[in-house]
Structure 1
Amino acid sequence: MYDYLVVGLGLAGISFCEVLEKEGKSFKVVSDASQQASQVAGGLYNPVILKRFTLAWKAKGQMELAQPFYAQLEQKLGVQLDYKVPVLRRFASVEEQNLWFEAADKPGLDHFLSTSIVPNQNNALDAPNGFGEVKYTGRIDTGTLVESYAAYLDKKGILERESFDFSALTVADEKVSYKTIQAKQIVFACGYGLQNNPFFNYLPLNGTKGELLTIKAPTYMENRVIKSSVFTIPLGGDLYRVGATYKWKDKTNEPTEASKKELLDKLTTFLQCDFEVVDHVAGIRPTVVDRRPLVGEHPEHKNLYVLNGFGSRGVLIAPYASDQLYQAIEHQKQIDPEMDIQRFTKKYYRD
């Protein structure tokens, strides 16, 4: 019998598997890779919400956990995942410059916001008011991470590549059984797929569709992330990722012409060089009404758990939330109330 059965292998599933391996727990993973949010994510770790110049939720503590977490994964998997890259926020006006300086004086933000305006020296960019720089940022190659980690689990013989069949799951007091797999606990880390989970679909996971473009722009020659109405992320080889959109009604993984046009219209307000679109992808971010993760124990079945709802900041949140869930299961420590599913269970759950 395994200690854990983990369902899903995006950022949430990988992070939880890492905690289990570090703690010497046995586990099996079931994943069909149907939820593409992790694979198509921009992958930025950036502690600042650049629209409003505010610190993201618990960002400093999450950064302290995340950076060594991905460094250890690079060593284990033998691939580069973490690309240190500055994030520059393009100022649309002098007023925005002033707001930036005000924000940089605030406790917490002062650690991350540079107080020097970065002048624009790139002829391919329209940025007469310059940029503000966020420090200690970077990009995790989430596509390589998911692919490499799946191969790692395959080699160990503990990954089942299939859609999870709830009709094959039996839940008892002391264990769960799924087909021929038996485990003491089961953790559902399946992103927007939570909608199809009969145990946790009462949780208000609404999902937000995001679309990203990859462009080839040989004369752009920019090695920093530029954030304006959309961001551009350098990928190397004259390639840049451009995103992202936020759509609440469309819940498919299919890219749309409307979102492509929206991204290109915004991009061309500040990018002034020739480029071609070479890729266009979409995925559903697992987002929650109060913008906090969904982590915790099922209200009736004490060996069923959920790890979800990371939204667009999964790179930072995943290691933090995974550690919290593990500590709650194994050591009865309290999950941060802001992300504990009890905040919804009391209101929404029906016997």
Structure 2
Amino acid sequence: MKQVDYIIVGCGLASIAFCEQLRANHKSFMVYDDNSQKSSLVAAGLYNPVVLKRFSDVWKAKEQLEIALPVYNKIEADLGVKFDHKLQLLRRFTSIEEQNLWFNAADKPSLEPYLSIQLLKNTHDCIDAPYGFGEVLHTGRLDTENLIKSYKFFLKEKDTLKEEQFQYHKLQIERGSLKYNEIIPKQIVFAEGFGVKKNPFFSHIPLNGTKGEVLIIQAPDLQIDFGVKSSVFIIPIGNNKYYVGATYNWKDKTHQPTDEGLDELLTKLKTFIKCDFEVIRHEAGIRPTVKDRRPLVGRHPKSQNLYVLNGLGTRGVMIAPYVAEKLFNFIENDKPLDFEINIERFKH
């Protein structure tokens, strides 16, 4: 038998962020992951403090960035891998009215640090943007696929990753003690994303799940080193390749890409990209979304050493380290969770 402080189920952004809390505080752990959840792998990985559809501020953007960026920098240093790329992000305007809305938003104290008041003219032949762009400040892109694959390799080297399905029925809970196969953990944190729907301990939490489809295109003539938000995002990822996304489907809960998703992305992309391109990848994943757009963090109502870390939605890169720190302090230091992220807000 092996004793550990924690078992963590899942190995996406939420799990990795919590692992970093455990490593920083010298806690032992074992991670279980069966590679069934794809939302972190297919995500654009953009960290952006502004809701660009409505020109409003992202929930707790400043606090999230202050916690997240040092965490990712430390992982880069420990793993010797580069996955955090600073990226200029431009919002394409479709009218004079949108320009005016942008400048109005930039006057708000919460948005002033993030919205440039200098209008940028379009100088790229392959982009249709007659009304120019607004620049979002303090943005970047996390190569989530590289991060997750590198982190799994890191865990394997330390013999702290089991690439297998966590079998809930084998978890023994007796008088507050836990046992799972040959492991005796003090606590278990379930960070499975949409996979939590199959978890009998937390299937009651109101996680909806939103399917997103994305493309990777090759466009040699486009030649941009900045991201553009219009009807879709287009983000450079190197070697004349670009990420294009994403769709939102609240009904389809499969991980398979669809013809409908492909048509939607191509139709929107062609409204502002005026050069030839080739689709080289088409992928899909289920985002762990919640109706009030806040994470789901907390303790099981009966089993006091079972916890959930979930519901990161479309902004997992920014939110994951923030909520991981909150959960760790809740478990280890008895610091109460903020009501707006605590699963008890849905207790009724």
1:174–1:184 CA contact under 8 A, matched in 2 = no
Counterpart secondary structure, 1:311: coil
Correspondence 1:312-331 to 2 at 5 A: 312-331=314-333
What's the CA shift for 1:148?
A: 0.5
Bigger drift between 174-183 and 90-99 goes to: 174-183
| SS, match of residue 109 in structure 1 | coil
Task: Give the length in aligned residue pairs.
Answer: 346
Deviations 1:170-194 (A, max 9, x none): 1234431111111000000000001
Aligned to 1:229: 231
Equivalence for 2:83? 81
Question: Could you say which residue in structure 1 is the equivalent of 2:95?
Answer: 93
Q: Give the Å deviation of 1:35.
A: 0.4
Q: Report what 2:12 is aligned to.
A: 10
Q: Identify the residue that residue 29 of structure 2 maps to in structure 1.
A: 27
Asked if the contact 1:173–1:303 (Cα under 8 Å) also holds between the matched residues in 2, the reply is no
2:153 corresponds in structure 1 to 151
CA distance in 2, matches of 1:197, 1:66: 28
* Residue from 89, 111, 114 that aligns with 2:113: 111
- Aligned counterpart, 1:45: 47
Whether the 8 Å CA contact 1:173–1:301 is kept in 2: the answer is no
Whichever residue aligns with residue 164 of structure 1, its letter is F
Kindly state the Cα deviation for residue 77 of structure 1 after the two structures are TM-superposed: 0.9
- Once residues 43 and 312 of structure 1 are traced to their aligned partners in structure 2, the CA distance between those partners, rounded to angstroms, is 9
Unaligned runs of 5+ in 2: none
TM-score for the superposition, normalised by structure 2 = 0.99
In structure 2, the residue corresponding to 1:107 is in which secondary structure? coil
TM-score normalised by structure 1 residue count? 0.98
Aligned letter for 2:191? A
Which residue type is aligned with residue 329 of structure 1? I
| Secondary structure of residue in 1 paired with 2:249 | coil
Q: Give the residue type in structure 2 aligned to 1:219.
A: D
* 2: CA distance, partners of 1:214 / 1:172: 49
CA RMSD of aligned residues (A): 0.6
Contact kept, 8 Å, 2:176 with 2:303, in 1: the verdict is no
Tell which deviates more after alignment, 169-178 or 42-51. 169-178
Task: Report the residue type matching 1:31 in the other structure.
Answer: D
1:42 & 1:171 partners in 2: Cα distance? Answer: 39
Residue 311 (structure 1) shift: 0.3
Letter matched to residue 32 of structure 1: D
Instruction: Report the Cα distance in structure 1 between the residues aligned to 2:210 and 2:264, rounded to whole angstroms.
Output: 16
Contact 2:87 2:140 in 1 (8 A): yes
Give the aligned partner of residue 190 of structure 2: 188
- Displacement, 1:69? 1.0
In structure 2, the partner of 1:129 is: 131
SS at match of 2:326: helix
1:257 matched to which residue of 2? 259
Whole-angstrom distance in 1 between the partners of 2:296 and 2:266: 33
| Matched AA of 1:113 | L
1:19·1:323 contact (CA, 8 Å) conserved in 2?
A: yes
Separation in structure 1 between the aligned mates of residue 227 and residue 310 of structure 2, nearest angstrom: 27
Q: What is the percent sequence identity of the aligned residues?
A: 55
